[in-house]
Amino acid sequence: MLDSFKKMYLKKSCAVSGFSKKFLLTIALVYSLFIVASSVIIYLTFSVSEKKTGQILYTENIKYQSRILNLIVENQENIPESPEGLMEILRKNYKGKEGVLSLIIFKKTDDDNYFRVIDILKLYGLFDPKISRGQNVTVKKGVEILKNGFSYSTYDRQIYTDGIVKWQNIYQPVTIGKQKFLINGLISVVEQEKIIKSIDSRNSLYRTILFIISALIMLGVIVSTCLFYQNYSGILKGLASHFDQAAQGNFNVRIKQTDDIDFNRLADSFNSFVDSLMDKKTITMGSEDYLAYINSRSNQLFQEGVSLIKENAFEDALESFRVLEILKPDSHAVVFNLGVIYAKMKRYMEAMVMFERAIKIDPDHELSLRYKEKVVKLLNRQ
């Protein structure tokens, strides 16, 4: 008899506490997504920082080499009288030094888009700039930089490669006699590449550690959620067990108080409910107080059940009216509404049984007769 009470009570207990399996899994998912999003942001921050560091290293390198070349050209006591003399000065200053792959001296031609190679100084044996003396060259993307280089010191941020060596270009103007020349320095970025690889290796380690920490935190969230749900599920099972004992006539069963306020609310509610069942057992059927209690509780459940039917919450409405059926088994309104609920749930056989009971209680009730006919027709179609 207490089965319906038990189901309704446990459902309401879940609703009051605000927890359900779906709710807990949603919370775990939200926390996990937050952790993933944070990890992605930190990962992207590492990547952006790494890229900016590389750009700074490359830029500072060519600025430094450009200043050195400028000092070499500007601080000569004896101004060279020819490009060959200039190349000799450059050879002396750059002999044995690392960082510069090659130096090329250009001269303007009658065509502003072409420049003639006057001389080449190769400083790194494995590197070949692939141009020769006397050759006229043009650089489609770098024409403006070359033109500007005849007027002032400048550099090209772009990194070039022949598949083996990588370099950047610096440009230093120089005047010999009345003619203007341009020194093009091809600057190696090998050292910068090593530093960037070192930074990348370190950041890769940090990213791996970050991934492991994030995975452990996510695992912790999921495990904690599962343990919490298991504990919460155990509480509900305990409540169900206590209901079963009460249903078997053991009205001395009680739920002990704990330090948990929400749990104590459930315990108080259950203990009060068992007390009311004990009172029901001891009170005689002719007692006015007991009849008043039954009527009050029945009216409350009836209104709740009708509201649930209107909201199409048929499962919950069924629980309410099954409880009412225990309290008032001969109530036409209760039995009739049970028939309506079963019909709405397409449980037509049970609906027909309820409508037949309603007709027995009130043979003149037109809706009961009409609904029974409809249910019979629906059954015949199946």
pLDDT of res. 76: 55
pLDDT for the residue 355: 93
**Is residue 297 one of the residues assigned to a domain?**
yes
Choosing from 191, 218, 241, the residue where a domain stops is 191
Domain membership of residue 363 (yes or no) is: yes
Is residue 121 a part of any domain in this protein?
A: yes
One-letter amino acid at 239 equals L
Q: Residue 210 has what pLDDT?
A: 74
In single-letter form, the type of residue at position 140 comes to K
Domain range enclosing 88? 78-191
Residues 6+ apart with CB under 8 A from 344: 309, 312, 314
Boundary of a domain, candidates 143, 174, 191: 191
Distance (Å, rounded) from C-alpha 207 to C-alpha 50?
Answer: 12
Q: What's the confidence (pLDDT) of residue 78?
A: 61
In a domain, 93, yes or no: yes
In three-state secondary structure terms, 76 is coil
How much is the pLDDT for 15?
42
Is the residue at 267 inside a domain? Answer: no
Beta strand 136-137 pairing with 115-122:
antiparallel
In the Cβ-directed half-sphere of 122, how many Cα atoms lie within 13 Å?
A: 10
Please list the residues that pair with 333 across neighbouring strands.
Answer: none
Q: In what order do the strands lie in the sheet with 166-176?
A: 136-137, 115-122, 100-108, 179-188, 166-176, 154-161
In this structure, what CATH number is given to the domain that contains residue 371? 1.25.40.10
Select from 245, 254, 105, 239 the least CA-distant residue to 185.
Answer: 105
| Total of domains in the chain | 2
* Per-residue model confidence (pLDDT) at position 23: 60
Instruction: Read off the pTM.
Output: 0.44
**Taking the chain (382 residues) in consecutive chunks of 10 residues, what is each chunk's mean pLDDT?**
48 45 65 73 68 69 73 63 82 78 88 87 81 81 72 82 84 85 85 75 75 77 72 68 64 66 68 63 50 68 88 87 82 92 92 93 91 90 79
Cβ atoms of residues 32 and 221 within 8 Å:
yes
* One-letter amino acid for residue 142 of the chain: G
- CA 266 from centroid of its chain's CA atoms: 36
Same domain, 85 and 187: yes
> According to the model, what pLDDT value does residue 289 have?
58
For the chain, what percentages of helix, strand and coil (3-state, to nearest 5) are there? 65, 15, 25
CB 333 within 8 A of CB 354: no
Q: Which of 157, 191, 225 is the last residue of a domain?
A: 191
Separation between Cα atoms, residue 374 and residue 305, nearest integer Å: 23
